[in-house]
Structure 1
């Protein structure tokens, strides 16, 4: 249970007030349970006529023997009740006290559960928040190595499992030990010989339950991992449905999903069967323990050598039975927690993931920023093979540099190094002569605007997509940005204008419309550095013309890095860099590179053909 208490230590401190109130009411519940059962002894003694002693009232002035005084005075008042109103009325009075004590006990039990609810729900909320915040902060490299579906499974299925198992067991974990400890103290007070015997039996039963629980955790980890595989499968299917249908691959993806689902089915069966074993096993071990204690205690009484009377032994057995139920609940909670700990382990792999993209301890400030960019001896690799090899490039402030070359030559990767989506392996990237690793990541990315080949939009309105990430803007500024991006006209033709929802990833728009909305977003941000990653390559000629006009307006007076396959779009760039296998093999203007009759000329000829 070390991992469980580690979770408590991490997440409970903000809710310690609720935990303290829960423990307080659990202690009250335990004491009220004991005292309500204590009423049973005089009831039994009256019924069987065992206690015929005479009691005198004792004043509460000897605190060393307060326990004896309390018992004596209780019997004194019972004796007075019998003398005045008879045994039947006294019995009814004791029964009424039992009812009142039980009412108080159930009330405190409810309050203990009442105060644990905000703690449970709050911890689960915090875990979700921590996970989401960590996912947003993690670098792009983390998601190139992880399946999106598996990350989603950890955020949904694993967190739900933590809520249903670990958090649902919190009440039992804090309530049951209190009840067990209080009951054990009372059992020692009644008969220490019997209690020693009980304390030998209970750990043996607990050891048996613990061995089964450990295997459950391992199987639960396998189950949650397989659930991540299923979620990845579903996410890929939904994302690639058009291709699946186009290639008649329905049967292929169905058989793959059914195969993975069958594996999850088998693991789930093993987990459910092992978890179902908790209640019968605890029931059997509890009954076996009670039977052994009943035999041992009964033997002591029948031998006449015991210091315990028959009514006290019955009371002892009632208290012992009160331990058995919490012990069974504790064992079931232990099972659930083992299952949830497997999910917590998967969640921790995200929460504990290291983010190498960090702010410097003493960040530099950009004063009078102009926008010059320098790549100095930059080398970068995703794994072992370098994708960028010793690249050196100077981009003057306000200039447009175009990166061209075959697919896989490193163009997009070189651009991704500028906003620190990845960090270089060697060399440096500088803006205005300052290494970007010496700047705050937030400040650095605030200097840049991106327009990608795939316009990344959100399931929201035109207005909220254009103003995404930009604060304190007016509707007039949004409209002006949309007009510059050639987007205002089709936005106003939609049903609710700028308040129209564009659907998931802008699915209600054409490719050109999506691209123009993303350009409007970049225009509104008004960044000094602009990164255009094949912004027109997926468009038809008419859409490309409109988008190119918008881009030309956007690029004025900005340092721009353009990644392009269509060479006609970058003909007027100040610098054209031809990349081949991670290196810049040619650089210059369009006319200079044509004259060289090298890589660039060959690319131009291929496109003309």
Structure 2
């Protein structure tokens, strides 16, 4: 039962709806039993087996009271109207009971639809929120395609395999229980015989589904690999074609696809066996009951009449359909539990970036940023070693050094994309862990080496994260970023769609749009990560001019690949193997003749 708790926890917000659905299914089962139970009095009327009943008994919720008064009513109709009219009454009564049975069944399905789809919507929303909440380090360990698979295919599998089975879970067990209670009342001896046979059938069905969840988990995981391959193919199509690697990628995709198909075949074969096996076992049990019940009737001791046996078998035969549906639903749930496991792996993933309950809201940056003996390890690999640095308000600090020296990690620690392993980072003398994450990041703007744009309009990309931005403020930011002219020249101006990741723009144009976005935010602290390293000379000039406009009167931390772009920085820090090995202004570092001087001379 513990494993089903993963699903039931999502039902808690809908407990009222669940109670209503269960109540409607109980009513539907009640009228269904009445419909089927009418077989016995119908046969008794047809063969004139109802004894003459001349008086009623006080009504109570007992079988004897109900049967006695019902037989009295039928006897009265037979005496006054004739047996044909009694049969008409019986048929009309069955139609009315069937109407109410189907009315309540439909109402349960009516309320099941928003409940089932609402749970799936809630899971998707929760997963998406978690995707945004988890730190960047989580995604360096996970395949993007697998994450996409979990939030799309696994949630869809959950909806198909589990949520669509919920109506059977809420309906079929109720039907089976109500039918079994009625059968127990009709013939305790025959029903006890049923209680011996059904567990044997249940054990046989249960053994088939034993490994279904394990195979389904493998299948969903392999589907994640398949989507990862597809995502990498679309992202690297230019390189694949340039290196004539189409056949290699085809082989990789087809190999993963074939393995996934083999797993699906195993899963489907096991799941599809549930329905025919449960039906076969159900019919086998009916045949055994016919033999055993027939012996009881032939004894003639009055414990079971022929009409009662037929009615008993009719009601018992109705157990086969819900039992078969329930077993099919059980198999579907086992299959879907593999997806639930994968979904939970994301939702329950630990986020090491914790925010204190009493976190302070920082509204402005006043004096300085301090790194005090900061260390950072990634999977036990040191990235930063005992780094200390003070950045005064309004100053520009440049970080230079070879790739892998820790520059990007240094700046990623400030907005808490990661947390320092040791040491502390302070803003105006307060540890950044004491601030709310939202307010801390609100102090900062980012311009990255690879511009991150969305498949939307210029306006929405520049105003991203600022719902109250006006077109006038967006245009003003674009002008400062040297982006206004080419935006205005586009077909629909600021409302032109820029394509996936800004694919309709050149590299320089994409970068200037991202700079305009940072300018519009107007943060006191700017983080610039090699913003001009991938541009041609003309684009670099325009972007550099835009960056200079951006950095005016702001505290800036600049990661520079081209040292010529940071000659005027207030402080240049040279990182090597996670440590600051040199610091000073451009002329001072050139005079030292150390690492910075060598790097600068290599680029001249």
TM-score strictly above 0.5: yes
Aligned residue number for residue 349 of structure 1: 345
Q: Which runs of 5+ in 2 are unaligned?
A: none
Aligned residue number for residue 105 of structure 1: 101
The answer (yes or no) to whether the contact 1:371–1:558 under 8 Å persists in 2 is no
Specify the SS of the correspondent of 1:198. helix
Cα displacement string for residues 380-408 of structure 1 (whole angstroms, at most 9, x for unaligned residues): 11111101111111111111111111111
Matched, 1:24 2:20: no
Distance 1:549 1:183, change over 3 A: same
Aligned residue number for residue 555 of structure 1: 551
How many Å apart are 1:280 and its aligned residue? 1.2
- Aligned partner (choices 166, 176, 187) of residue 180 of structure 1: 176
Matched, 1:143 2:139: yes
How many Å apart are 1:91 and its aligned residue? 1.3
The answer (yes or no) to whether the contact 1:378–1:427 under 8 Å persists in 2 is yes
Distance 1:605 1:502 in 2: 39
Moved more, 257-266 or 68-77: 68-77
Moved more, 302-311 or 504-513: 302-311
How many Å apart are 1:150 and its aligned residue? 0.2
How many Å apart are 1:187 and its aligned residue? 1.0
Aligned residue number for residue 119 of structure 2: 123
How many Å apart are 1:101 and its aligned residue? 1.3
The answer (yes or no) to whether the contact 2:365–2:443 under 8 Å persists in 1 is no
Aligned residue number for residue 56 of structure 1: 54
Aligned residue number for residue 389 of structure 2: 393
Aligned residue number for residue 504 of structure 2: 508
Return the TM-score normalized by structure 1: 0.97
Cα displacement string for residues 14-62 of structure 1 (whole angstroms, at most 9, x for unaligned residues): 22232122111111111111111222112111223333x210231536x
How many Å apart are 1:96 and its aligned residue? 1.8
Moved more, 341-350 or 303-312: 303-312
Distance 1:462 1:297 in 2: 79
How many Å apart are 1:6 and its aligned residue? 4.2
The answer (yes or no) to whether the contact 1:405–1:580 under 8 Å persists in 2 is yes
How many Å apart are 1:5 and its aligned residue? 4.3
Matched, 1:523 2:519: yes
Distance 2:393 2:318 in 1: 79
How many Å apart are 1:213 and its aligned residue? 1.4
Distance 2:136 2:188 in 1: 64
Matched, 1:590 2:586: yes
Distance 1:306 1:290 in 2: 22
Specify the SS of the correspondent of 1:584. strand
Distance 1:368 1:466, change over 3 A: closer
- Aligned partner (choices 134, 153, 165) of residue 157 of structure 1: 153
Distance 1:442 1:360 in 2: 12
Aligned residue number for residue 408 of structure 1: 404
How many Å apart are 1:368 and its aligned residue? 5.4
How many Å apart are 1:164 and its aligned residue? 0.2
Aligned residue number for residue 78 of structure 1: 74
Matched, 1:485 2:481: yes
- Aligned partner (choices 166, 182, 186) of residue 190 of structure 1: 186
The answer (yes or no) to whether the contact 1:371–1:559 under 8 Å persists in 2 is no
Distance 2:206 2:62 in 1: 41
- Superposed structure 1 runs of 4+ greater than 4 Å apart: none
Distance 1:277 1:38 in 2: 32
Distance 2:600 2:534 in 1: 19
Aligned residue number for residue 233 of structure 1: 229
The answer (yes or no) to whether the contact 1:18–1:118 under 8 Å persists in 2 is no
Distance 2:108 2:363 in 1: 58
Distance 1:295 1:145 in 2: 63
The answer (yes or no) to whether the contact 1:594–1:601 under 8 Å persists in 2 is yes
Cα displacement string for residues 318-344 of structure 1 (whole angstroms, at most 9, x for unaligned residues): 111121211111000000000111100
Distance 1:496 1:382 in 2: 46
Distance 1:307 1:179 in 2: 26
The answer (yes or no) to whether the contact 1:376–1:429 under 8 Å persists in 2 is yes
Distance 1:587 1:5, change over 3 A: closer
Distance 1:471 1:103 in 2: 54
Cα displacement string for residues 215-268 of structure 1 (whole angstroms, at most 9, x for unaligned residues): 111110010000000010000000000100111110110111111111001111
Cα displacement string for residues 117-136 of structure 1 (whole angstroms, at most 9, x for unaligned residues): 11100000000000000001
The answer (yes or no) to whether the contact 2:45–2:86 under 8 Å persists in 1 is no
How many Å apart are 1:67 and its aligned residue? 3.3
Distance 1:116 1:552 in 2: 60
Distance 2:415 2:5 in 1: 41
Matched, 1:572 2:571: no
How many Å apart are 1:304 and its aligned residue? 2.8
Distance 1:477 1:420 in 2: 29
- Aligned partner (choices 423, 427, 440) of residue 423 of structure 2: 427
How many Å apart are 1:85 and its aligned residue? 2.7
Q: Superposition RMSD on alpha carbons, in Å?
A: 1.3
Distance 1:368 1:123, change over 3 A: closer
Matches within 5 A, 1:124-523: 124-305=120-301, 307-366=303-362, 369-370=365-366, 372-523=368-519
Distance 1:351 1:605 in 2: 51
Q: Which runs of 5+ in 1 are unaligned?
A: none
The answer (yes or no) to whether the contact 1:371–1:529 under 8 Å persists in 2 is no
Moved more, 374-383 or 519-528: 374-383
Moved more, 168-177 or 357-366: 357-366
Matched, 1:4 2:11: no
Distance 1:466 1:306 in 2: 87
